[in-house]
Every structure is written in structure tokens, then in C-alpha cells.
Amino acid sequence: QKEVEQDPGPLSVPEGAIVSLNCTYSNSAFQYFMWYRQYSRKGPELLMYTYSSGNKEDGRFTAQVDKSSKYISLFIRDSQPSDSATYLCAMRKRGSARQLTFGSGTQLTVLP
């Protein structure tokens, strides 16, 4: 079993829709959570960083962490065609020398 599970999609939604992307993890040692966006043939770009349970909002993006359920989500409101990319969740354990464990990524397409 992988330490981090992420639905690979692909996920296709109409423009303006609310998108929900999710990851689950099995190891409670993961304490810090990130979402990255990766466009085709580009490096990942950090979108959100959280380390406590609850919600964190940044513009159209909301990151949600539920440590008791070992479940994290990224919500995208009013999705745009420019949001079409692969979204990767990533996690880090306390004291892990900054090494990240990534989900497999969810490919999202927002249709105009």
C-alpha cells in the first residue's frame, strides 16, 4: 500500500465548476501538507501549504486538512481553463529533512 493515495483521474469539468481534489494517507507521521500544480512539461508549482487541521483559503483555492481521518482536499472555485493541469498532493513528516512524499497526481481539464 502506498503511503499517499491520490485519484489519478482524469477529471474533466465545465468552466465555472467547483473542483474537489483529494488525497488520503496512511502514516500519521505526516504533519505538513502541500498542493502543487504542474502544467505539461513543466516543473511543479507550489499552490498551498498547510500544517494544521482545518481550512486555508487563498483566492479561488481552499486547502482542507483532516488529520483525524488522514484526508486532505484542495477545492478550486470558479474553475478556469487555465486551471487545467495535473495537481499533486505532497506531504512531509516531522524531522524528515524536508523530504516530500507525493501523491500520483490528478489530471484536471476545465472545458471552456
Partner 1 sequence: GAVVSQHPSWVICKSGTSVKIECRSLDFQATTMFWYRQFPKQSLMLMATSNEGSKATYEQGVEKDKFLINHASLTLSTLTVTSAHPEDSSFYICSVPTSGGQRGTDTQYFGPGTRLTVL
Question: Where along the sequence are the contacts to partner 1 (CB under 8 A)?
Answer: 8, 31-32, 34, 36, 41-46, 49, 51, 88, 92, 94, 97-100, 102-105, 107
Residue closer to partner 1 by CB (options 2, 15) is 2
Q: Which residues contact 60 (CB under 8 A, 6 or more apart)?
A: 76, 77, 78, 79
Residue type (1 letter), 4: V
Residue closer to partner 1 by CB (options 23, 76) is 23
Distance in Å, CB of 10 to partner 1, minimum: 10
Distance in Å, CB of 49 to partner 1, minimum: 5
Residue 4 and residue 38: Cα distance in Å, rounded? Answer: 18
Residue 58 and residue 103: Cα distance in Å, rounded? Answer: 21
Instruction: Find the distance separating the first CA and the last CA of the chain, reported in whole Å.
Output: 37
Place of cell 467547483: 18
Residue closer to partner 1 by CB (options 38, 73) is 38
Residue closer to partner 1 by CB (options 17, 32) is 32
Distance in Å, CB of 9 to partner 1, minimum: 10
